[in-house]
Structure 1
Amino acid sequence: MDMASALASLSRLQHPFSRQRSGWLLAGTLALGAIPALAQSTSGVDGVWSGTAQSNGQQVPLKLEIHGEGDHLQAALLNGKQRSASSSGSYTDGHLALQFDYYANSIDASLKDGTLTGTFSSRGRSIPFTAQRNTKAEPSSPNPVNIGGDWEVEVKSSKNESAWTLHVKQSGPNVEAVIQRIDGDTGSLFGEWRNGQYEVSHFTAAGPSYAVLRPQADGTLQLVTPAHGGTTQTWTARRPQQARAAGLASPDDPLQHTRLSNPSQPLAFSGKTLDGKTISNTDPDFKGKVVIVSIGGSWCPNCHDEAPLLESLYRKYHDRGLDIVELSFEEENQLANPTRLRAMIQQLGLTYQVLLTGTPDQLNEKITGVEHLDSWPTTFFIGRDGRVKAIHTGFAGPATGDAHRDLEKETDALVKKLLS
């Protein structure tokens, strides 16, 4: 197989890993390595491009791998070993156009004098960036401080949380961090030790995320995140044992955050399939079955992360009486023409039912009788008697490591128990 064929196969096999968060947006990306053959190419726009994007007043690293020419272009945003592959792309007369249909985002750029200049367009906003081919990374600073392990971030969030969890993996001056909240996680943020701190970030098909981790003399860690208007917010992170000694609350239990106002009442829902058929909880097809109802949207990266687990459960247990329904809340233009949702379904190979239910601001109007319904996704587990047996708020994605693997095992065990 020649290199072009090998790269095409690799692009098809890789699963995009991407994130942009509801509630508050971090920003950023770093990436490691590239395929040598691409790095050596200087024709057209082939190669690995490194640069920065301007987002929320921050310079966010961006790394983009491109291969091909004309209308047969393949590209991917690189973050560590993770790739966010483009759905399609073209390069003609110095103009680059890339589409990431599964998030309805795009890159539009021009190549002039060795510099790629353009914008990343995402949900009504445009993020400018510049990049150059095959640039060398700035070296890290000496004597990196060890921050590896778990931390708890003291917060007062809009979802009534008192703490988030910060997971950090470290290898010398390099770190991979992820912030886990009740509604999900930021995805992997990559960074290096420079000038007394770790700037961690990613730039994926969903957009940029960025934060600063700054070790303190008292053993705590400052977490600095972008805020509206180009300002920043600063939080204090402590080791779990430090947080307990200080009398601080633990992160919320995702099985206790959301609950029914009346547990004896069934979860009422209704939506339309992409073919226009109305489906509701009262349909005879659901009678006597175990049903998972997940509330999400194709704009939601945590929902993209949850979908493969739901699909694996559906394929494993559907013949034993499991049904799965995704209630998708989309913006007005996507409700009228759900191209992003269709692309997400195709990208992830989903075969369970996905229903268009309303716009995100209609969540509590469409789903009634539920307290603290404020996170995407929120997943309801319904027994064969039609009653809700468990509600899980948010989703711990692959970036959270052990938390993700534990959640997969616990969810599988819960479904088996309900089916029995």
Structure 2
Amino acid sequence: MIKKLISGAAVLAALTTHTQAQNSLQEGVWRGELKTASAKVIPFNFDVTQAGNKQEIYIINSSERFKVTDVTSKGDSVFIRMPLFDSEFRLKHSGKELTGQYIKHLADKDVPMEFTATPATSWRFFKQPVKSAANVSGRWSAIFGEGNSRDTTVGEFKQSGQKVTGTFLTTTGDYRFLEGTVSGDSLYLSCFDGGHAFLFTAKVEDNNTLSDGKFFSGLTGKDVWTAKRDENAKLPDAYSLTALKPGYKKLDFTFKDLDGKPVSLSDNRFKNKVIIVQIMGSWCPNCMDETAYMVNYYKKYQKRGVEVVGLAYERTTDFARSRKSVLQIKNRFNVPYPLLITGYTSNKEETAKSLPMLTKVVGFPTTIIIDKKGDVRKIHTGFNGPGTGEHYTEFITEFEKLTDDLLKEK
């Protein structure tokens, strides 16, 4: 009888393994396409790997590999839940191809985009791009928008053969890891990080001019842009964009942590400490880059007398929903410092209301540096993440020197 039970269990295990294998995605690099409302395709690549008895996905953008572990197959259905940004894929596995929707969950609605993916496809825009004599490597002054909505940014690209990587730097951060190609007289760049899908196209008139630029963001976002090569292009000082109102020297707030307990800067843990306050949101990709850095920064400086606290401004004022999103950040990055639910939305005017001593909040993230006396010493707008190369390194060097100087003060 025992032998029969063992034999039956072995057969069941074998059948289960066989079924899992049938439902599994083909391992290796895939090419995915997200379709915008204007029928433009935003391509990206991802790598399917086997991790024990389950599969994982790595979304590829230039040198970044964004790990996704919540991958479930059931029959011909595949569900992929992003670890950040409250988004997911609901797909059908028809033969080899995947088809279905990428769904972004907002505060009051869901925004779906059509999605298809093909295995064993490592190219992004073209299998065989058309050769071009142009090379876009270098620094560019790029203008997005028209009229009063014009915004000057800095593009930085590296071209090897026809492959292009790089990013755009803005006053509120960067567009992270962009990847694409120059094909003929055209430039193509894209990025997908689980919450944001970007497509940039432009005509390469010569080595110094990019014209007729189009920028597509998500389902409906659309803008125009142009660029001129300018090795001296730069943005305004990130420490000059936000300040305290006249008469104020200190920051003051009381918000709830993830357990619902109120936390204030007047609490004992913050007394006589250098304090870093992150104005952030779980929906913000640059905030994720900053949080990844802040975790390591905190481990390095906490014993020397530094505290960090994150103020989360979410898409909703509902505490439970906001907590769920912020908890994903905490778990993803193993955040050791408190993350607080402010109860205010990510609307910049709402954010400014919650901290009335600030003149304004220009963008997310905004980082406030407070000395051991409790006085605000500097306010930094935006964050240049690892996708910006040397700018990321320069920020870390400058930021940590500032911390060292503040710690030396009596």
Smaller-chain TM-score bracket: 0.7 to 0.9
Q: Could you tell me which residue of structure 1 aligns to residue 13 of structure 2?
A: none
Alpha-carbon displacement from aligned partner over 1:50-108 (angstroms, at most 9, x marks no partner): 23210252211132333459982322222234222223111121111111132221111
Aligned runs of 1:309-320 on 2, under 5 Å? Answer: 309-320=293-304
Is contact 2:216-2:222 (8 Å) kept?
yes
Read off the aligned partner of 1:320 and give its amino acid letter. Answer: R
Q: For 1:97-139, what per-residue CA distance to the aligned partner results, in whole angstroms no more than 9, with x for missing partners?
A: 1111322211111011432101111132111111222146311
**1:253 positional shift:** 1.2
The 5 A counterparts of 1:10-409 are: 44-47=24-27, 48-57=29-38, 58-68=40-50, 72-123=54-105, 124-135=110-121, 137=123, 138-155=127-144, 163-217=152-206, 219-222=208-211, 223-226=213-216, 232-240=222-230, 250-262=234-246, 264-332=248-316, 335-337=319-321, 338-358=323-343, 359-361=345-347, 362-409=350-397
CA shift in 2, pair 1:71/1:125, >3 Å: farther
Q: How far does the alpha carbon of each residue in 1:125-181 deviate from its partner, in whole angstroms, 9 at most, with x for none?
A: 111111222146311111241110111123579999852111101101110020111
2:84 match: secondary structure? helix
Tell me if structure 2 keeps the 8 A contact 1:153–1:238.
yes
CA distance in 2, matches of 1:265, 1:98: 47
TM (normalized to structure 1)? 0.82
Larger CA deviation: 118-127 vs 380-389: 118-127
Distance 1:106 1:144, change over 3 A: farther
Q: Does the CA-based 8 Å contact 1:52-1:129 persist in structure 2?
A: yes
In the superposition, relative to structure 1, how do residues 334 and 201 fare at CA in structure 2: closer, same or farther (>3 Å)?
farther
- Work out whether residues 214 and 221 of structure 1, in 8 Å CA contact, stay in contact via their aligned partners in 2: yes
Given the superposition, is the C-alpha separation of residues 231 and 360 from structure 1 closer, same or farther in structure 2, using an over 3 Å criterion? closer
> Partners in 2 of 1:69 and 1:227 — Cα distance?
32
CA distance in 1, matches of 2:52, 2:403: 48
Q: CA deviation at 1:333?
A: 7.1
State the alpha-carbon separation in 1 of the partners of residues 71 and 45 from structure 2: 16
User: What is the distance in 1 between the residues matched to 2:260 and 2:37?
Assistant: 39
Asked if the contact 1:73–1:91 (Cα under 8 Å) also holds between the matched residues in 2, the reply is no
- Aligned equivalent of 1:38: none
- What amino acid is aligned across from residue 289 of structure 1 in structure 2? K
Sequence identity (%): 26
Instruction: Show CA shifts across 1:202-241 (max 9, x none).
Output: 2222231110132224822234212798584322222336
Uncovered stretches (5+) of structure 2, i.e. residues with no partner: 1-20
Q: Write the letter of the residue equivalent to 1:225.
A: F
In the superposition, relative to structure 1, how do residues 205 and 336 fare at CA in structure 2: closer, same or farther (>3 Å)?
same
Superposed displacement of residue 365, structure 1 = 1.4
* Partners of 2:406 and 2:365 in 1: CA distance: 21
Structure 1 residue 200 displacement after superposition: 0.3
Work out the CA distance in 2 between the residues paired with 1:66 and 1:81.
Answer: 17
CA distance in 2: counterparts of 1:98 and 1:68, whole angstroms: 15
2:324 maps to amino acid: T
Number of residue pairs aligned between Structure 1 and Structure 2: 374
Structure 1 311/135 Cα, relative in aligned 2: closer, same or farther at 3 Å?
Answer: closer
Closer/same/farther in 2, CA of residues 272 and 379 from structure 1, 3 Å limit: same
SS in 2 for 1:101: coil
Q: Distance in 1 between matches of 2:93 and 2:217?
A: 32
Separation in 1 of the partners of 2:218 and 2:78?
30
1:85 and 1:100 in contact (8 A); partners too: no
Shift in CA distance, 231/195, structure 1 to aligned 2, threshold 3 Å: farther
1:311, distance to aligned residue in structure 2 (A): 1.6
Distance 1:331 1:119 in 2: 22
The equivalent of 1:23 in structure 2 is none
CA contact (8 A) 1:290 1:323 kept: yes
Q: Post-superposition shift, 1:418? A: 0.7
Q: Which has the higher contact order (CA 8 A, sep 6+)?
A: 1
Residues 268, 368 of structure 1: 8 Å contact kept:
no
> Which range moved further: 289-298 or 154-163?
154-163
CA RMSD across the alignment: 2.7
Q: Distance in 2 between matches of 1:316 and 1:414?
A: 14
| C-alpha distance 69-399 of structure 1, shift in aligned 2 (>3 A) | closer
